[in-house]
Amino acid sequence: MPSDDCILHELPGRIRLRIPALGAPGSTPDDLEDWMDTLSEVSHTRANQVARTLVVHYDKTPGARERILRRLQGYSPPPEGGLRTGVTREPEITPMVISALTILALPWLSRPLQIALTGANIASTIGRGTETLIREGIKVEVLDALAIGLSAARGELYTANLTDFLLSLGHFLERTTERQSDRQLRKLLRPEPAMAWLERDGELIQIPGDQVESGDILQVGTGETIPVDGRVISGTALVNQALVTGEDVPVRKEAPRRVVAGSVLVEGRLRITATQVGAETTTARIARFIQESLDQRSDTQREADRLADQRVYLTLATGAVVYGLTRNLTRLQSVFLVDYSCALKLGTPVAFKSGMSRAAAHGVLMKGGDAIEQLAGVDTLVFDKTGTLTHSELSVTDVIVLRPGLSCNEAALLALVASVEEHASHPVASAIVEAARSRDLQHISHGEVDYLVAHGLSAEVNGEQILVGSRHFLEEHHGIRFADDDRQISALEASGKILLYVGAPSGPVGLIALRDTPRRDAAETMKRLRALGIENLIMITGDRRHKAEALAHELGLDAVHAEVAPEDKAALITGLQSAGRRVAFVGDGVNDGPALVAADVGIAMPRGADIARATADILLMDDRLSVVADARELAVKTMGLIRGNFRAAIGLNTGILAGAIGGVLSPVASALLHNGTTVAILLNALRGVRLASEQEALLQQRMEDLEEIGNRHGRRA
């Protein structure tokens, strides 16, 4: 914790500190501000690199001051060239203040001093325009410099200074609005690191969460944040995962359930063993995903930039024509101060970031504006079946020994398969491992596990190779035939069960049957997606056709592709695209990676394999299928907001330009109206969109408020 001599000044809710690390290589005010802004108690921060100080404004809640000082203790400058948060710098207020003071001082000065002071005040604007012209060509900064320079050259000192003030004010408000859009995502970029209570030598010691190592045993009590990803080894508790998954309702956790970093223990106590720590925790992976998202630029953003640059030339050409026809420099100045560029260039990314923030609040992480744009444009949604349309938590229903040998009974066979499958990351593997743990079966030693072309696993046990996977894999790739067991296999499949086949070079060893059921929200989600413009709903599965078709009919899907080998999923996606479809694919397994990449938009379920999550454009953090419909609705509405803002920017600025051409608007009025229009568009983009469910809830709340007001008036009467 920073020492007392680092505290320079303090008031209730405000503290100013000396931060020597601000002078270190790689340190910037932005990084320190971003580091502190993740605390819920912090309302605003301002870092000064020259003075190496930080001012923090915070809520006066119990323990807030101590948490702020503890947070500062963990700050270290990022390495030079390392990842940055991608956020906009804190807007400069100094130019605006200087312009305002200049305007106030002019009446008290002689004419020569007025000219000198005006020249000093507008020098930065003129210099910025000149530098832009040399380095980048004709941009909006050039037009601003021309307009202000013309006013000053004609001796219109008040007009030049006032116009400069209005431009500075506009830039300040624009940057403030843009930075606010970045701060909406700040909590997700850098989750606050939690402290951890570690069991060591029979005692509990407290250490920072980022110092926990894999395999450490931790204890977490009521009100504490779980610092790492891990598994419960004892205890029972209610855990709130809202900050990570978006789920509002706490979930029950007990052995051997998985817990994720960033969750808060609401009630109870848990002992957990750390499985993923530091940069591998869920919250750290989310931070990296969102960092990548902020760096992505969509086609819409690139098009907005192109059109904005074109409009600068339009304004310049219009000014030249106006002056050529009227020889009126005042009109020329007014025309030059109409700028389409800011509203077009800033409004689009702010709207995208607002959409990403709104989506994150609903358990959807979108990788930049391109993901939003592509999802809004798809007309076909393709779903993997297991773990996507059906619930990801399968349960083992039957363990059948087909031949004596390595596994002479059901418990031995289940223990054997679970010992091999624990190295896989898929709902089937998780269900088998869970079943073995629930029966307290011991781990069986085996050799190195090989993952074989997305078909199955193999390992050596007691000198013999054991193969686990699909029937196709065992029969076609290894010649292990199950024809003698067809009657039993058919009966299990007819009852809607998923089968995992176990074999050895000597022949079949056994079967493990699992059952999955459609997600409760699957049918309703399909209806919502159709209402949101999705024309084709398709399922891909490796299951037998009769079982897949029954589920497709139940959910009202348009088509089903059954008995599909994992490597063929991507080919089916490509085929749909060749037919002119814009396709999104929703999956969760290791073998879904190629399909997620091939689709126009890849959507990964929350319990998906790491490769599926790494290749996806959109990650679902909430384990509900309805979140897919939420994501589509947010994407469609965000693109609608962007198009609306685009039309407003063009229409309003064209109206202002017409007023400037006609001589109705003075340069000051032109600057004021233009900047006001830009800020209004940015605020509308920052406000973002709401889901229909949110709007219904808001309307219901308003109706209840009105009813309560009416009741109060009735009681008074």
pLDDT at 698 over 50: no
Inter-residue long-range contacts of 479-488, CB under 8 Å, 24+ positions, other chains counted:
480/504, 480/505, 480/507, 480/508, 481/507, 481/508, 482/402, 482/508, 484/508, 485/402, 485/511, 488/400
Q: Is residue 445 part of a domain?
A: yes
Q: Is residue 436 part of a domain?
A: yes
In this structure, are residues 226 and 192 in contact, taking their beta carbons and an 8 Å threshold?
Answer: no
pLDDT at 699 over 50: no
Q: Are residues 553 and 608 in the same domain?
A: yes
Whole-number pLDDT of residue 612: 56
SS3 per-residue string spanning 652-708? HHHHHHHHHHCCCCCHHHHHHHHHHHHHHHHHHHHHCCCCHHHHHHHHHHHHHHHHH
What CATH number is associated with residue 507?
3.40.1110.10
Alpha helices in 362-485 (DSSP H): 368-377, 410-421, 427-438, 471-472, 478
Is residue 580 helix, strand or coil? coil
Q: Is residue 130 part of a domain?
A: no
d(CA 556, CA 524): 10
Q: Are residues 421 and 455 in the same domain?
A: yes
pLDDT tens string 590-647: 567 778 888 899 898 876 555 556 667 888 877 788 899 999 999 999 999 988 888 8
pLDDT at 347 over 90: no
Whole-number pLDDT of residue 246: 45
Q: Of 164-168, 651-655, 695-699, where does mean pLDDT reach its minimum? A: 695-699
State the residue range of the domain holding 611. Answer: 364-390+518-631
Whole-number pLDDT of residue 716: 40
The strand ranges marked E within 221-363 are 229-240, 251-254, 258-259, 264-276
Per-residue confidence at 693, pLDDT binned at 50, 70, 90? low
Q: Are residues 500 and 465 in the same domain?
A: yes
Mean pLDDT for 442-459 is 76
- Look at the chain and count its residues: 717
Cα 42 to chain centroid distance, Å, stands at 22
Which residue has 């008290």 as its token pair? 108
Structure-model confidence comparison of residues 343 and 503, the more confident one: 503
pLDDT tens string 492-519: 877 768 888 998 888 898 999 987 778 8
Structure-model confidence comparison of residues 713 and 107, the more confident one: 107
Q: Is residue 306 part of a domain?
A: no
What CATH number is associated with residue 269?
2.70.150.10
482: its two tokens: 């199950």
Mean pLDDT for 232-260 is 75
Whole-number pLDDT of residue 535: 94
In this structure, are residues 617 and 603 in contact, taking their beta carbons and an 8 Å threshold?
Answer: yes
| Residue burial 656-667, b: 16+ Cβ < 10 Å; e: rest | bbebbbeeebbb
Residue type present at position 523: A
Q: Of 466-475, 611-620, 690-699, where does mean pLDDT reach its minimum? A: 690-699
Q: Are residues 415 and 489 in the same domain?
A: yes
Mean pLDDT for 402-431 is 79
Q: Are residues 424 and 505 in the same domain?
A: yes
Per the structure, how many domains does the chain have? 4
User: Domain end: 468, 487, 515, which one?
Assistant: 515
Which residue has 């750290």 as its token pair? 284
Per-residue confidence at 520, pLDDT binned at 50, 70, 90? confident
Tell whether the torsion through CA atoms of 484, 490, 491 and 495 is positive or negative: positive
Residue type present at position 521: D
Q: Is residue 136 part of a domain?
A: no
Q: Is residue 113 part of a domain?
A: no
Q: Of 40-44, 224-228, 242-246, 484-488, where does mean pLDDT reach its minimum? A: 242-246
Residue type present at position 582: R
Is residue 15 helix, strand or coil? strand
Whole-number pLDDT of residue 86: 43
Residue type present at position 126: I
Structure-model confidence comparison of residues 290 and 534, the more confident one: 534
Mean pLDDT for 100-123 is 90
What CATH number is associated with residue 59?
3.30.70.100
pLDDT at 469 over 80: yes
Q: What is the mean pLDDT of the chain?
A: 79
User: Domain end: 40, 73, 106, which one?
Assistant: 73
pLDDT at 188 over 80: no
18: its two tokens: 């000396």
C-alpha gyration radius of the chain = 31
Per-residue confidence at 32, pLDDT binned at 50, 70, 90? confident
In this structure, are residues 515 and 497 in contact, taking their beta carbons and an 8 Å threshold?
Answer: yes
Q: Residue 525 is inside which H or E element, if any?
A: helix 522-531
Q: Are residues 533 and 622 in the same domain?
A: yes
Q: Are residues 419 and 506 in the same domain?
A: yes
Strands 195-200, 217-220: pairing is: antiparallel
Q: Cα–Cα distances in Å, from 227 out to 217, 280, 281, 283, 622?
A: 12, 12, 9, 10, 20
Mean pLDDT for 701-709 is 48
Q: Are residues 384 and 527 in the same domain?
A: yes
User: Domain end: 243, 258, 280, which one?
Assistant: 280
Reference 398, options 458, 488, 480, 481; nearest CA is: 488
Mean pLDDT for 471-483 is 87
Per-residue confidence at 325, pLDDT binned at 50, 70, 90? confident
pLDDT at 83 over 70: no
Q: Of 108-122, 283-297, 518-532, where does mean pLDDT reach its minimum? A: 283-297
Q: Of 85-89, 169-173, 296-300, 343-347, where does mean pLDDT reach its minimum? A: 85-89
Mean pLDDT for 352-361 is 80
d(CA 307, CA 324): 26
Q: What is the pTM of this model?
A: 0.63
Is residue 226 helix, strand or coil? coil
DSSP 162-213: HHHHHHHHHHHHHHHHHHHHHHTTHHHHSPPPPEEEEEETTEEEEEEGGG--
Mean pLDDT for 411-418 is 89
Q: How many CA atoms lie within 13 A of 222 on its CB side?
A: 2
Whole-number pLDDT of residue 301: 62
Q: Collect all residues with Cβ–Cβ distance below 8 Å to 171 and sequence separation of at least 6.
A: 91, 95
Q: How many CB atoms lie within 10 A of CB 247?
A: 19
- Looking at the chain, the whole-number percentage of residues with pLDDT higher than 70 is 79
In this structure, are residues 347 and 646 in contact, taking their beta carbons and an 8 Å threshold?
Answer: yes
In this structure, are residues 93 and 172 in contact, taking their beta carbons and an 8 Å threshold?
Answer: yes
For the chain, what is the total number of helices (H) and then of strands (E)? 26, 24
Q: Are residues 548 and 578 in the same domain?
A: yes
Reference 689, options 358, 353, 347, 293; nearest CA is: 358
Whole-number pLDDT of residue 87: 44
Q: Collect all residues with Cβ–Cβ distance below 8 Å to 175 and sequence separation of at least 6.
A: 88, 89, 90, 91, 92
384 is catalytic: yes
Q: Of 71-80, 203-212, 361-370, 441-450, where does mean pLDDT reach its minimum? A: 71-80
- Select which of 309, 339, 370, 384 is catalytic: 384
pLDDT at 545 over 90: no
Strands 456-461, 450-452: pairing is: antiparallel
Q: Are residues 592 and 451 in the same domain?
A: no
d(CA 495, CA 481): 22
Q: Collect all residues with Cβ–Cβ distance below 8 Å to 216 and sequence separation of at least 6.
A: 198, 199, 273, 274, 277
Q: Are residues 624 and 527 in the same domain?
A: yes
Q: Is residue 36 part of a domain?
A: yes
Whole-number pLDDT of residue 530: 94
Q: Are residues 531 and 602 in the same domain?
A: yes
Residue type present at position 379: D
Is residue 258 helix, strand or coil? strand
Structure-model confidence comparison of residues 321 and 171, the more confident one: 321
Q: How many CA atoms lie within 13 A of 344 on its CB side?
A: 22
d(CA 139, CA 340): 11
Mean pLDDT for 445-451 is 79
pLDDT at 85 over 50: no
In this structure, are residues 287 and 38 in contact, taking their beta carbons and an 8 Å threshold?
Answer: no
Q: Is residue 348 part of a domain?
A: no
